[in-house]
Amino acid sequence: MTTDDLVVDTTHGPVRGADGDGITGTRTWKGIPYAAPPVGDLRFRLPEPPEPWTQVAEATSFGPACPQPVFPNMPLGLGAPQGEDCLRLNVWASSDTEPGAGKPVMVWLHGGAYVLGSASQALYDGHRLAAAGVVVVTVNYRLGALGFLDLSSFNSARRRFDTNVGLHDVLAALRWVRDNIAAFGGDPRRVTLFGESAGAGIVTTLLAAPAAEDLFAGAIAQSSPATSVYDRDRARRVAVATLDRLGIAPSDADRLPDAPLAAILAASQEVFDEVPVRNPGTLAFVPIVDGELLHDYPVKVAQEGRSHPVPLIIGTNRHEAALFRLMRSPLMPITPHAITSMFTQIAAEQPDLQLPTAEQIGSAYSRSRRRARLLSIATDVGFRMPSVWLAEGHRRVAPVYLYRFDYATPLLKLLLVSAAHATELPYVWGNLGVPKDPTLKLGGAKTAKAVSKRVRTRWINFATHAKPAGPAGEPDWTPYREADRACLIVNRRDAVVRDVDARIRAAWGSEMVSFR
């Protein structure tokens, strides 16, 4: 392939990519700006188009990762230095993909509790997915206070703040994909938006956002905290706490955009650590119902049949909470005190709802040992039940495919982590062992690779045909319907199971959709 073959004209200017590693037969374009650097007056504001350019820009290395604090118990290799000029995306395509080829597109949103992560993490290298016939796009979006701090109640004649700017970043990236992906060989009418954890939370949130209409034709939500979307009152309390850490009075909030970046990150880290201790089961920086981009809670919108009618894969890992226990993270309520406190706060905030008590919920898990019971409750309140509630609603407007990822290597079982939060990621991307992944050290590589092949085949077939068919001979993954509530269990072998969540659905009840 010649150098000229790697130059693609985008709506903002031409970019030159690079050949792949010669083994997978792919090419990449990295660090493409989809919005202007969100600095100066653009801090805490909606993304603006980048300045156009006429000379060919080199797109051979990742752009900056969005600024974020360093959490010692959550170490991440970001794949790039941090910097505020971070609203960049990356594209992978197979070497034989020509402009206008019309291949399905998969747009990835990374996880990280809305405060961590980047599109350049080695785990999200798109070579293997692209080699299988899709065009892959990974997206950076603003994080933490810079992306999810709601300062709108402090608007004044001196300064205006926008809400949900991290969500708006993703919408800007999706509009870029709509306008440009055909030049990279993708089909803008066949875009699947997929993500994990906070990235999946953005996916399920955008299913309820009118502004996202027609920007994607399918969605995949892996371990979505779908109910971690708050109202403006809670968001204002977080904003006040952040300003307090910075020594800025609410009346002087217009000074915040001029604060040193390091100070903003330090303050946001303190608030991020404190919020789940004070309010178990909650995060500091999340999407909010602002009445502009988001008019109501995503699960409520889905249950009322008002979510975007696109096919959806949604599911969780069997032992989500085990990762948070391993990291000693306060993000999930995994102690008796935290769980009791969480239910007490829910009851105080929502007195009109007939909510089950902590004791009633606990009785549904009575067959488990104490530690396993606590982890199961945390897994279900944080991830499983929000996903099931959303599936119950969304199935009324489009096909929904529910899954549970159960597979764990021998080492993960030995560490009592098993199928914990995020452990499915290398299987989806086909990047087992990257980077320096120790999970295969006690064996299991052959089985793990077979699991990965099945998962990738189903994800790619969903992006291509809107149906997640597996390899030949694998069970037919049928949609989630009231008659059987089919769920794909991913383990050493795939199995489609009828209403696997019946017991916990009965325990939590449908009204817990209001849990936030």
Q: What is the pLDDT of residues 234-263, one digit of tens each?
A: 999 999 999 999 999 999 999 999 999 999
Residue 515 in this model has a pLDDT that exceeds 70: no
**Fold classified for 7-508:** Rossmann fold (3.40.50)
For residue 383, what pLDDT is reported?
95
- State pLDDT tens for residues 149-188: 999 999 988 899 999 999 999 999 999 999 999 999 999 9
For the chain, the C-alpha Rg in angstroms (whole number) is 22
Residue 139 in this model has a pLDDT that exceeds 70: yes
Summarize the confidence of residues 380-403 as an average pLDDT: 96
Amino acid identity of residue 12, one-letter, is H
For residue 441, what pLDDT is reported?
87
The answer to whether residue 421 is catalytic is: yes
Distance CA 265, CA 332 (A): 22
**Options 94, 120, 152, 197, the catalytic residue:** 197
Taking CA atoms, 101 is separated from 95, 107, 462, in Å, by 12, 17, 18
The answer to whether residue 387 is catalytic is: no
The answer to whether residue 349 is catalytic is: no
For residue 238, what pLDDT is reported?
97
Distance CA 84, CA 377 (A): 38
Distance CA 37, CA 17 (A): 21
For residue 363, what pLDDT is reported?
72
Distance CA 441, CA 421 (A): 20
Taking CA atoms, 344 is separated from 135, 193, 208, 339, 340, in Å, by 47, 36, 29, 9, 6
Summarize the confidence of residues 45-61 as an average pLDDT: 97
Q: Mean pLDDT in the chain?
A: 92
**Options 110, 127, 394, 421, the catalytic residue:** 421
For residue 330, what pLDDT is reported?
82
List alpha helices for 279-405, DSSP H. 298-303, 322-326, 336-349, 358-363, 370-379, 385-394
The residue that leads in pLDDT, 108 or 70, is 108
Is the pTM for the entire model greater than 0.75? yes
**Options 223, 224, 268, 320, the catalytic residue:** 320
Distance CA 86, CA 143 (A): 10
For residue 433, what pLDDT is reported?
80
Residue 387 in this model has a pLDDT that exceeds 60: yes
Place of tokens 């990150």: 265
- State pLDDT tens for residues 178-216: 999 999 999 999 999 999 999 999 999 999 999 999 999
Summarize the confidence of residues 420-425 as an average pLDDT: 96
Task: Decide if 138 contacts 87 (C-beta within 8 A).
Answer: no
Domain boundaries, the chain: 7-508
